[in-house]
Copies of this chain bind each other. A is one copy, B any other.
Amino acid sequence: MEHPEHKSKELQRLETFSDGVFAIAITLLILEVIQALHSSVRVPLKQLFFTNWKSMLVFLIGFLTILICWINHHVVLTYAEKTDGNFFWVNGFVLLVVTFTPFPTAILAEYVETESALALAIFGCNYFMMSLSAYFFTAYIHRKLASKEDKDLLNYYKVLYKYSAIYTFVAIFICLLSVPVAMFLYFILFIPFAFPKEVVLRLSRRKYKKKKRSATHVSVP
């Protein structure tokens, strides 16, 4: 009643669909920059970059955010060996957050000068939702769709996304206290997410060494 080749075919379609959503969300961001060009009063071209720097900076932030999201989605999904009905919805939650991202990005561009603290906090809520969706995504693959050998490694990803969810939740409130501190915190956050595989492999090796060392420690006396 269930063909094995269906499994991998279904997984491939889920990837194609997700890649499409990521690709469109990341490309639509430029429409905001172009709209800012058209809607602003026509200025001499030399001054254009001074009047439009906000929309360009926010384009860059939005681009990096969605690219990082794609990298993490991509790296974790390689461990899934099949798919099921619930996973469509877990993945759908990730896609919902990604699709929604251009909205807080547009809010940030619109309000960055007048209400920077609140605008950044709203943008930070998006980071919290991303971490949360990445956690659910990883936890579901870990529990149901991965092979036994990969489960240990996936556990490190789960820990990474759990702590980042807590981290981003705290950062929302720091936005309201101090914008520069919050921006610094978000900047630090970028590093483990930009190279999730390398971070997780390093974490898993460190633990392995610790175990080995304590094992030697025990065996020596």
On whether the beta carbons of B103 and A30 are closer than 8 Å, the reply is yes
Residue-by-residue, is A1-12 near B (CB-CB < 8 Å gives 1, otherwise 0)?
100001001100
Contact flag A23-B20 (CB < 8 Å), given A45-B115, A71-B88: yes
On whether the beta carbons of B153 and A107 are closer than 8 Å, the reply is no
The answer for the CA separation of A111 and B147 in the assembled complex, in Å, is 50
Asked whether A95 is an interface residue with its Cβ less than 8 Å from the other chain, the reply is yes
On whether the beta carbons of A118 and B45 are closer than 8 Å, the reply is yes
Asked whether A140 is an interface residue with its Cβ less than 8 Å from the other chain, the reply is no
| Contact of A37 (CB < 8 Å), options: B25, B95, B96, B106 | B106
Asked whether A176 is an interface residue with its Cβ less than 8 Å from the other chain, the reply is no
Indicate how many identical chains form the complex. 4
CB contacts (< 8 Å) of A212 on chain B: these are none
CB contacts (< 8 Å) of A201 on chain B: these are 1
On whether the beta carbons of A37 and B107 are closer than 8 Å, the reply is yes
Within 8 A of B (CB), among A88-127: 88-89, 92, 95-96, 99-100, 102-103, 106-107, 110-111, 115, 118-119, 122
CB contacts (< 8 Å) of A17 on chain B: these are 19, 22-23, 70, 74
The answer for the CA separation of A39 and B77 in the assembled complex, in Å, is 39
Contact flag A26-B67 (CB < 8 Å), given A33-B103, A85-B197: no
Asked whether A28 is an interface residue with its Cβ less than 8 Å from the other chain, the reply is yes
CB contacts (< 8 Å) of A15 on chain B: these are 13, 16
Partner-B contacts on A (CB < 8 A): 1, 6, 9-10, 13-17, 19-35, 37-39, 42, 44-46, 48, 56, 59-60, 63, 67, 70-71, 74, 77-78, 85-86, 88-89, 92, 95-96, 99-100, 102-103, 106-107, 110-111, 115, 118-119, 122, 149, 153, 194-198, 201
* Minimum-distance CB pairs A-B, first 3: A20-B23, A24-B27, A17-B19
